[in-house]
Amino acid sequence: MPVYNFPTLVKAKLQKITGTMLDLIWLTSWFPIDSYLQFIFQS
């Protein structure tokens, strides 16, 4: 692996991680886990 390529790889990984985190936050904002769990436990 070329050394000059390393920062690009790190940047890509960080972007992927933050992208996944943002996706999770977006999903949970549309899909409230708390009310879903309450619904499961009540039924």
15-38 per-position pLDDT tens digit = 999 999 888 888 777 777 777 778
Residue 2, phi then psi, degrees to nearest 5: -65, 145
pLDDT at position 2 is 62
Number of structural domains in the chain:
1
pLDDT at position 1 is 55
Both tokens of residue 11? 């940047």
Residue 1 makes CB contacts below 8 A (sequence gap 6+) with 9
Q: What is the pTM of this model?
A: 0.46
Domain of 24 in residue numbering reads as 3-42
pLDDT at position 18 is 92
**Span of 9-13, 14-18, 38-42 with lowest mean pLDDT:** 38-42
- d(C-alpha 23, C-alpha 31), whole Å: 12
Both tokens of residue 5? 């390529």
